[in-house]
Structure 1
Amino acid sequence: MDLDEMFGEGWCVTLAPCPLTETLHLMGVADPVPYSEGPGQVAHLLQERQDRGAFVLGRDLPGGWTLTVECESWIGFDDELLRALAADRRTALGAYRDPDTKTATLAHDGAVLGRLDLSGGYFEGPSGGVDITHPIVTSLTAVGFDASDDCEPTGEADTAEPDGCLVLAVRVLSGVTLTAADFLGPWSGGPSRTTV
C-alpha cells in the first residue's frame, strides 16, 4: 500500500471507533453523500476541490472503525477533533503527510497522547515527552516504536517504510490491518465546513 501513489504528496488518513456519519459530522461534513469510486477517482475528486476547501471521504471498516481520507487538508490530524473522536475511553489516530513530514497523532479517552514520526519509527509526546506507562504507548513500544530520547525503533517498527509504520500502528491500536483494498469504494462524504 502506497498512500503517496494513491493520494499524492499531501494527504490525511483518520481512524476512529465511531459510526461513519458521526465521524464525518465531527469533521465538518454536514450532509454526507455516497460515492462508489475507487482510489484513483477518489484522489481526483479530493484534489479537484483543493481550491474550494476541504473534502472528506469516509468508509466503515471491520470492528466498528471508520476510515477517512483527505487530500491537501488535515482536519483529521487536528488535536481537538482527535480528542472528540477519542472521547469515552475510545482511541483515535490521525496521520498526515505533507511534502516533508509523515506523522501520526494518537488520542485516547479525550486526551492527545502524542505523535509518532512515521518516517523514523519513534514516539514523542505533545511537548516532547510521552507517558511510557500508558497502555496505548506500551502497546506501541512493545512492537518497537521508540519512546526514548534515542529515537531508535526496533522489531516490527524498524522499517524504512513510513506506510508500514502507519499500518503497524493502526493494527496495534485497532486490530485492523490496512490494505490497499480498504481504500476502494464505496465511500461517503462531502465538503467540510472545517478548514485545517
Structure 2
Amino acid sequence: MAELLDLTDVLGEGGCVTLVRRGLIEVMSAMGVEGVREVRWVEVADRLGELPRAELRDLPVMMLARSLPSGWTVVVEVDGWTGWVGAQRDVLERLSEGGGAAASLWRSPNNEEVLYAEDGEILGGFDPTTGHRWGAHQDKFGPVAEALGFSLSGVEDQGEDLLPLSVGQRCACALEALTGVRLTRAMFDDPWQGGLRRV
C-alpha cells in the first residue's frame, strides 16, 4: 500500500481539504464560487505572497477543486484569513443534502479537526491528534479512531497502539477512513479548476 500523504508537505501548517460526493461545478456553486476556470497552484502562492496581511481580509477567497475518478470532488483552500469555507457547518450540510456526503479537514498551527455530514446533517467531528470525538453520531468516527490506533473506550486508554504518523498523515488517514478516498500527491498537481468566493 502507498505511504500516506503528509498534508503538511502540500498545504504547510494551515489549509482546508473538503471531499464531497457530488460533481465539481455543483460543489463550487454550493460553496459560493462563480466563474470556475483553470488555475495553477503558483497563482495562489503568488497572490498570497504579494499582499500585505492587512489587505487580505478584503479579498475574495480562492477555492481550488478537482473531480476524482471515484465520484468525489476535492476542494482545497489555503486562504484562511476569513475562516475555512469547507469547515462551516451550514456549507457542509448543504453539500451533503439529498443523500450526499461531505467531509472536511481544516488545519491551523497546533489545531486540526475533521467534520462529517450526510444527507444534510452534521454527524460530528473528530480531532486526529487527540482522538476526541463529538456530535450526536460520533460512532461514525469509531473506524477513524481505530484506523489511527486510538482506543474506542476513551482517549485515556490509548496506550502504545497509536500509529507513528505525522500530524499531516493523521489528517489524511482520518479523511480516508471516513470517505474511502486516499489522498495522493498527484491529486495536488496542476492544473486545478478554481474560482473566487466573495466573503
TM-score range, shorter chain: 0.7 to 0.9
Q: Deviations over 1:22-57 (max 9, x none)?
A: 11111111111112x3x5x15515635771131101
Number of residue pairs matched by the alignment? 185
Is the CA contact (8 Å cut-off) linking 1:7 and 1:43 kept in structure 2?
no
Partner of 2:35: 31
**Aligned-partner residue type, residue 118 of structure 2:** H
Relative distance call for 1:65 and 1:149 in structure 2 (3 A) is same
* Aligned-partner Cα distance in 1 for 2:137–2:85: 23
Paired residue for 1:72?
79
1:13 aligns with 2:22: no
- SS at structure 2 position matched to 1:64: coil
Structure 1 CA distance for aligned equivalents of residues 159 and 100 of structure 2: 27
Give the corresponding residue for 1:185: 190
Give the TM-score, by structure 2 length: 0.79
Q: Work out whether 1:98 is the aligned partner of 2:131.
A: no
TM-score (normalised: structure 1): 0.80
SS at match of 1:44: helix
Distance in 2 between residues matched to 1:3 and 1:46, nearest whole Å? 21
Displacement of 1:146 in angstroms is: 5.0
Listed as ranges, the matches of 1:1-196 within 5 Å are: 1-35=5-39, 37=40, 39=41, 41=42, 43-45=44-46, 47-48=48-49, 51=56, 52-73=59-80, 74-120=84-130, 122-126=131-135, 130-132=137-139, 136-143=140-147, 144-146=149-151, 148-150=153-155, 158-193=163-198, 195=199
Rounded to whole Å, the distance in 2 between the matches of 1:170 and 1:156 is 20
Structure 2 unaligned blocks of 5 or more:
none
Change in CA separation of 1:43 and 1:179 when aligned onto 2, cut-off 3 Å: farther
Displacement of 1:140 in angstroms is: 2.6
- How far apart, in 1, do the equivalents of 2:138 and 2:146 lie? 14
Give me the CA root mean square deviation.
2.7
**Structure 1: any 5+ residue segments left out of the alignment?**
none
CA distance in 2, matches of 1:180, 1:42: 19
